[in-house]
Structure 1
Amino acid sequence: TDRDEINTNITFTVRELSEHVPIITTADSPYSEDILKLAGSTKVLQLYTILGRSLAAWTIGGECGANIISRFDELIIAEFPAMGTPLVGKRLAESKLREHIGINVVGLWERGKFMVPDADSIIQHNSVLVLAGSEENLAAYDEVYSFYHICKLTGEPVLIVGSGRVGDTIVEQFKERGIPYLVIEKNPKRLQEEQHYVIGDAADIRTLQRAFIEKAPAAVITTHDDATNIYLTKYLRSLRSDMQILSRSNLERNVSTLHRAGADFVMSFASLGANAIFNFLKNEDMRMLAEGLNIFRMKAPESLVGRSLAQSSIREVTDCSVVAIRAGNILAINPDPQLPIKMHAELILIGTAEGERKFLKTFEC
């Protein structure tokens, strides 16, 4: 995780000692990927690029549907910000998402904290829904709800604060998706396309006014300094209570501070790297969706065979949600809670690491 030149040296040395050990390296420059692979790296992670793409995917704008975060056989796990949709303020039971669309809400993120919802959980303005379903379910959901996130037709630009490596990646993603944007940048030497840049300090109200802060649907804060990101998040939130604010965090300990300052979504540089490494080294039975949130599969314990999901109280007791059951060659996504669990069936669950431990202990797996 050092500079590209040092990473190459270390990789080459380790590969000399072992031909088979997996070596994962980070690369600051896209041109370093080939060199690191020649040195013996098994996997090269360009974290700045991954971070920029993740922030862009979360931004409300363009024709944006649910953000797919994992595929597990035919099962798709996706996340979708409730902001701006008719879902805000409703109880989960009132949303009728499962009945009308076939999609299941298996979790809610509330300013960086994951919770397992029940029927009475209220969908808040800043809630992010964790959805589970098939390709068809997700397409049906997007057809109804992605409409509320479309700002392309209004022509109002999303603000990108900072034009470093992360900011430049976001610009590339917005161009591909047809999302209008303006980059606020202090350094005039970084100016690329004059019509898309506002030179000035994002803490200066005059700069923000030139960037149309009063109409922007979202702002993405990308500087490499967490103190600056917290400062700007607090200021932008004071100016616009209804705008989506996304921020980069370089240190994990500052994620909660950024949420308190008013950020709707924070992407941690440290967590991003940890998740990427974990999923590369994972076994086939578990995958990390976000820090502390996993999707995993296990054989149905004997204590659950013959009982329905409704009778098992898995969600209430363990804070894990059963999102699919495989019996033989058939995968039932969002299975009927009244159907009994068969012998030799395989359960696919979503939950935190603590929830997984509770499941193993409660059902004596």
Structure 2
Amino acid sequence: MQFVMKFLFSQLAFFSQTSGARRNQRLLLRFLLFLTGMISIYSVLFHVLMLYEGREYSWVTGFYWALTVMSTLGFGDITFHSDLGLVFTIIVLVTGIIFMLIVLPFTFIQFFWVPWLEEHAKNRAPKQLSPEIRDHVIITNLDPITMKLVEKLERRNYEYVIVTGDQQYGAELWDSGYKVVIGEPDDPETFRRLRVERAAMVVATNDDLINTNISFTVREISEHVPIVSTADNEHSLDILKFPGNTQVFQFMKMLGESLAERTQGFGSATTRVSNFDKLLIGEISAKRTSLAGKIIAETDLRQKSGAIIIGLWEKGNFEVPQPETMIHPSTLLLLAGTEEQLVMFEKYYTLPGTEYSGDDPVLILGGGRVGVAAAGRLKEYGIPYRIVEKKGSLAGAGNDFIHGDAADLNVLKQAGIEQARAVIITTHNDAMNIYLSFYCRQLRPEVQLICRATNERNVAKLHMAGADLVLSYASMGANAVINVLKTDEISMFTEGLNIFSLPMPAVLAGKTLVESRIRPLTGCSVVAIRNAQGLLVGPDPMIPLNGDDDLILIGTTEAEKKFTDLF
């Protein structure tokens, strides 16, 4: 009973909190007074007409009759006998239907129930964090990048919070399972309630104007908390860096340049996709090497070059290398080694005649920011390109731009699809990218097809449609932020893999890599060992492991978790 009373008083207190709630309360009260007056008038008329028929009832009976007739209950225990009384009954019945069965529920819902539900929904998300929280990540916008970032933070047991000034939107995010705090991101008090001075990082992925405002707001409270921000425009870089942002990313430009760098013949034969200290990660298509058709045990890769195969990609499916693993022409090899070792790999294993032909252009389908960035990167290396863009406002001038629909065969022929060495698909619409991937694959089965994916869930579909390589915009952005947060780990957005460093587990000290069975047990591969002498890339699997060394491993997030759980 005490709980019920407390709940009732708390809900009634809601109607005195805001001017809107008080206004609704007055309107509802006015209607109830009007309805009460109508029932009172009908009760008086009931007595008058009953006296006309020679009958007399109490005042309570009059109210009882008026309520039962207006609510259409109509028990029938009290009725009029005269025509005048019956006409009065009909009038009472009709007005009761209108005001008690239609207007009253609508008024109650409009001025009481809906406001209460909305306020209840808004109050589900908290307005501040616990005073004890620390080392958390504050996110100011939820988009494909930060959605992927939240997944990675949860897997790594990082606390995070999304801040929004829209209470309804915040309630929806809260119901969806996100950790949310309600507050305006340009209000210093909001960040005080978010304990920003103890945060590990602030991530701002709004537009350039809002990001600038957020950065200055955070710096007003804390001079040291790292701020990672995005910039849509080139001229915003200096402005966003002024408040002392730790890192400002142009993700669209990064994605376009990365797409271009995956083109066959771009720079060296092996594309460098990541690095960890002096350790480089490179990728190369097996059909450009003499390794196609062999199993890994037959390659003598470690003996000749020092580089090692740390993974194989077959149409988007990652495979941990085993001695008996077959290398197919369609396989994308993932290599690890120093710069010298990768150069030696190219010397011994790259096939002659697979270099880029200067006469064959690269087709870029989509002339937005990503497509223009890809073109700029190709131009730096003297690689000819053609941009196909449907929108006249985006299509540039000159022979490098083709104004037309990339789904039109004549447009693609005009752009040079029949001679193109590679096709880069850069539109922001994943459905369109899937369509264009399939279309281009049917036109040119042998062409290299590189594609952008905005959402991670569409990566597999793009591979099914024929793309050789898919780069995820969401993964790229999320991994770039994670790389700033965790300096002992490098996330590779092209493959969804992580390179990470861990102290040597005590249970492995004294064992060899073969005896440790790290790869079969966890799916992680040891690519290097770091000790007092430096970095040992591709360590001999038969040397004993030293307890003072650090292991540098590569694997998926799930494989990393298995390793930490097991060792």
Fold similarity call, TM over 0.5: yes
| Structure 1 residues 50-105: Cα deviation after superposition (integer angstroms, max 9, x where no partner) | 00111011111344332223332322222223244333332222333222222100
The answer to whether the 8 A contact 1:90-1:123 is kept is yes
Instruction: State the match for 1:152 in structure 2.
Output: 357
| Separation (CA, whole Å) in 2 of partners of 1:107 and 1:320 | 10
What is the match of residue 169 of structure 1?
373
Alignment equivalent of 1:243, drawn from 438, 447, 450: 447
When normalised by structure 2's length, the TM-score is 0.60
Paired residues of 1:63 and 1:146 also in contact (CA < 8 A): no
2:320 aligned residue (87, 103, 116): 116
Q: Partner amino acid for 1:338?
A: M
Separation of aligned partners in 2, 1:81 and 1:89: 13
Q: Distance in 2 between matches of 1:174 and 1:323?
A: 31
- 1:293 is matched with 497
Match of 1:314 among 518, 526, 529: 518
**Would the aligned equivalents of 2:271 and 2:282 in 1 still touch at CA under 8 Å?**
yes
Greater relative CO (CA pairs within 8 A, separation 6+):
1
What is the alpha-carbon distance in structure 1 between the residues aligned to residue 459 and residue 310 of structure 2? 23
Inter-partner Cα distance in structure 1 for 2:392 and 2:218: 43
| Residues 1:93 and 2:297 are matched in the alignment | yes
CA contact (8 A) 1:62 1:149 kept: no
CA positional deviation for 1:253: 1.6
Shift of 1:298: 2.2
Range 89-98 or range 232-241, more displaced: 89-98
Q: Does 1:54 align with 2:280?
A: no
- Supply the AA of the counterpart residue of 1:296: F
**Structure 1 runs, 4 residues or longer, greater than 6 Å off:** none
Report deviation, 1:347: 1.6
Q: Which amino acid aligns with 2:535?
A: L
Q: CA deviation at 1:124?
A: 2.9
Percent identity of the aligned residues?
48
Report whether the alignment pairs 1:282 with 2:480: no
Change (3 A) 1:148 1:337: farther
> Alpha carbons of 1:354 and 1:57: their partners in 2 closer, same or farther (altered >3 Å)?
same
For the pair shown, the structure with the greater C-alpha radius of gyration is: 2
Q: Distance in 2 between matches of 1:41 and 1:306?
A: 45
Confirm whether residue 42 of structure 1 aligns to residue 242 of structure 2: no
Alignment partners' CA distance in 2, 1:228 and 1:173:
24
Q: CA RMSD in A?
A: 2.0
Stretch moving more, 44-53 or 200-209: 200-209
Q: 1:3 pairs with 203, 207, 222, which one?
A: 207
Distance apart, 1:128 and its partner CA: 2.0
Contact 2:296/2:323 (<8 A) preserved: yes
- Please say if 1:256 is aligned against 2:457: no
Written as runs of structure 1 = structure 2, the 5 A alignment for 1:140-219 is 140-143=344-347, 144-145=349-350, 147=352, 149-153=354-358, 155-219=359-423
Task: Find the residue that maps to 2:350 and give its secondary structure.
Answer: helix
Stretches of structure 1 lacking an aligned partner (at least 5 in a row): none
SS in structure 2 of the partner of residue 322 of structure 1 = strand
Return the offset for 1:242. 1.0
CA contact (8 A) 1:71 1:77 kept: yes
**Secondary structure of 1:202's aligned partner:** coil
SS for the counterpart of 1:51 is: helix
CA offset digits 1:229-249 (Å, max 9, x no partner): 111111111111111111111
Deviation at 1:145, TM superposition (A): 1.9
Choose 353-362 or 114-123, whichever is displaced more.
Answer: 353-362
Compute the displacement of 1:141 (Å).
1.8
User: Does the 8 Å contact 1:327/1:346 carry over to 2?
Assistant: yes
CA distance in 2 between counterparts of 1:99 and 1:69 reads 23
TM-score of the aligned structures, taking structure 1 as reference length: 0.92
Q: How far apart, in 2, do the equivalents of 1:8 and 1:178 lie?
A: 36
Per-residue deviation, residues 306-340 of structure 1 (Å, max 9, x unmatched): 22112222111111111112332243211111111
SS at match of 2:242: helix
